Amino acid sequence: MGWTILSCGLYSFYVTYQLMRRSRDHNLRRIELLDAATSFAWQQTETRGLSAGLQPNFGRISAELAVLRQKSTEFRDPTVWTLLSLLGSTIVHVIMFIILDGDLVSHDRAEGAIESELSAIYAQLGVTVPPPDPTRMKEKHQYAMRVVVTLVTCGLYFLWWEYDVMTEGNRHFEHNWRWEDGLVAAVQQLGA
């Protein structure tokens, strides 16, 4: 935030690029990780003869992975968004903040459901993967209120909104890392 203020807003274009890049890349990485964890769990359940009883869990995971895959096809190219922000500045940033917030909410709900199903499946395999923390789920921002407050404060609230978008993403990643650590420990216990 300090660099954005000190550079008279120029640093915000770098922030724009990084916010879009990390959101897009995180989604792709999580799809790969959750898909691999699911494939490994399926292989283990088949080996142990448990796959029939856990089929509904795998079906729900498949549906939520489809949500994440759909998100990965949406227009999130960081270079193009940065160029658009050069042309439309605050208007494009506001649109981007709304998109990133909506992405985070839908992405978190889908991956939280997958994590919950995988925790149940791995428990049937005899190892513990902690369930996702339900308190991590966030609600959508009140977009209209945030736009009005940004206008009333002559753009000052915009900096707070940018801060929220950054810190909420960071909190999301921290929750993911804790769950992933539990997943890695469970896979190692199963002898992968």
What are the boundaries of each domain within the chain?
Answer: 2-189
pLDDT classification of 64: cutoffs 50, 70, 90: very high
pLDDT classification of 152: cutoffs 50, 70, 90: very high
| Displacement of CA 178 from its chain's centroid (Å) | 14
Distance CA 4, CA 121 (A): 46
Residues, the chain: 192
Position 192 pLDDT exceeds 60? no
The pTM score is: 0.87
Distance CA 49, CA 36 (A): 20
Alpha-carbon dihedral sign for residues 61, 120, 139, 28:
negative
- What's the burial of 104, exposed, middle or buried (CB within 10 Å: 0-12/13-18/19+)? buried
At residue 75, φ and ψ (nearest 5 deg) are -70, 105
Percent of the chain predicted with pLDDT > 70: 95
Distance CA 129, CA 126 (A): 10
Q: What local confidence, expressed as pLDDT, does residue 60 receive?
A: 96
pLDDT classification of 1: cutoffs 50, 70, 90: low
pLDDT classification of 164: cutoffs 50, 70, 90: very high
Position 43 pLDDT exceeds 70? yes
| 155 vs 147, higher pLDDT | 147
- Taking residues 132-148, report their average pLDDT: 89
Is the Cβ–Cβ distance between 42 and 78 less than 8 Å?
no
Position 4 pLDDT exceeds 80? no
Distance CA 65, CA 127 (A): 23
At residue 139, φ and ψ (nearest 5 deg) are -95, 160
Calculate the average pLDDT of the chain: 90
